[in-house]
Amino acid sequence: MPKPLTENEVNRFIQLLDDRQRAFLEDYVKQSKKSKWLEQLARKKGIVVLQDNMSTKDIWNKINDWELKEILDGGYGERPYRCECGMPLRFCFVVHHRQENKTYRLGETCLTNYTMLSPDLIKDITNGFHTIDLERDDILIKFEWGWQLPEHYEGLPLPDSVMMQIEVGLPLSVKQLDKIEQQFKNELQRRRREQEIARLAQIREQRYNRGSFSRQASSASTESSEKITYEVVLSRHLEQLKQIRENEIILKSPQMQTKWKNVQQMIKDLKGGLIFDYSKFLMQMFELLYYLGLY
């Protein structure tokens, strides 16, 4: 587990944020801790909180118990708050009993006594709070480093809260990124595969162009740049096209079948003297080879 930031470090990082970013981060941490409290209470009562059709209100109606309102922090070396027992506190748990409709301010010891929640459960909750603070630290450190949203995430239907976080200019935590990776696993794999295939195609084209340039430089009578003709494409890629043709029965994916039709049509267009996009041809051809396990 990463080492948490010191209080002075947190304060220094917080000062780098503007008012909007600071307010968003504070609210995010507060809501995360409320969610952790709710999650642990629901688990104690055997309620699955991940059901898509259950709202937070529905879960609270089932629990009908102690609700965390806020955790107040008086600051290092300070104890400005008072527990119900009179003890001065730095950290004050503001909890509301839903049945009694009464709010209490408690320290950690009295939190166990008042709520009748087991010490182990309270420990699980406070450990969860520690993890949330580490997530806040992760966001702050990335902000100082100038973190940017991965290009593969552009255009994904991310949750509104995540979009707002990005909009105010705050990085996403490792936890948030992991959740996005799981939620959009197939789409992100597709995007990264296409980018890698495009990169390989570009490298291959550059190698051909460099080789062509070297050959041209050795002969003054040679043209200054090689034209991509039907003959040139076949001389370079005939074997690869034959491999795809021999294995086209394996192309079960409609998307791959469409790409194979596109590649064949581009070859026909080139032969007929029509406009030919060599980069697009290479990208789709290599994607087919990659899909068939031939590259």
- Does 101 have pLDDT greater than 70? yes
63 within 8 A of 69, measured Cβ to Cβ: no
Query: 50-59, 61-70, 111-120, 230-239: lowest mean pLDDT where?
Result: 50-59
The two three-digit tokens of residue 221, written as one number: 């009578």
17-21, 41-45, 153-157: segment of lowest average pLDDT: 41-45
Write down the H helix ranges in the chain: 7-14, 19-44, 56-63, 108-115, 119-145, 160-167, 174-183, 185-217, 230-246, 254-271, 278-291
Average pLDDT across the chain, whole number:
83
Higher per-residue pLDDT: 255 or 94: 94
Evaluate the CA torsion angle 134, 139, 140, 141 in order and state its sign. positive
Is residue 92 over pLDDT 50? yes
pLDDT band at 106 (very low <50, low <70, confident <90, very high): very high
Question: What span, in angstroms and rounded, lies between the C-alpha atoms of 212 and 222?
Answer: 10
DSSP structure class, residue 143:
H
Higher pLDDT, 156 or 223: 156
For residue 251, pLDDT over 90 is answered with no
Burial classification of residue 207, based on how many CB atoms lie within 10 Å of its CB (0-12 exposed, 13-18 middle, 19 or more buried) = exposed
In this model, does residue 30 exceed pLDDT 80?
yes
Do 243 and 292 form a contact (C-beta atoms < 8 A)? yes
- Residue 217's pLDDT is what? 45
Task: Give 264's pLDDT tier (boundaries 50, 70, 90).
Answer: very high
Query: Taking the CB of residue 287, how many other CB atoms lie within 10 A of it?
Result: 23
Task: Quote the tokens at residue 227.
Answer: 């034209």
Q: How confident is the model at residue 36 (pLDDT cuts 50, 70, 90)?
A: confident
**Of 72, 50, 47, 71, nearest to 60 (Cα)?**
47
For residue 225, the model assigns a pLDDT of: 43
Q: Is the pLDDT of residue 60 over 80?
A: no
**Rounded distance between C-alpha atoms, residue 261 and residue 99, angstroms:** 67
Convert the pLDDT of each residue in 184-227 to its tens digit.
Answer: 998 988 888 887 787 777 777 776 666 655 555 444 333 334 57
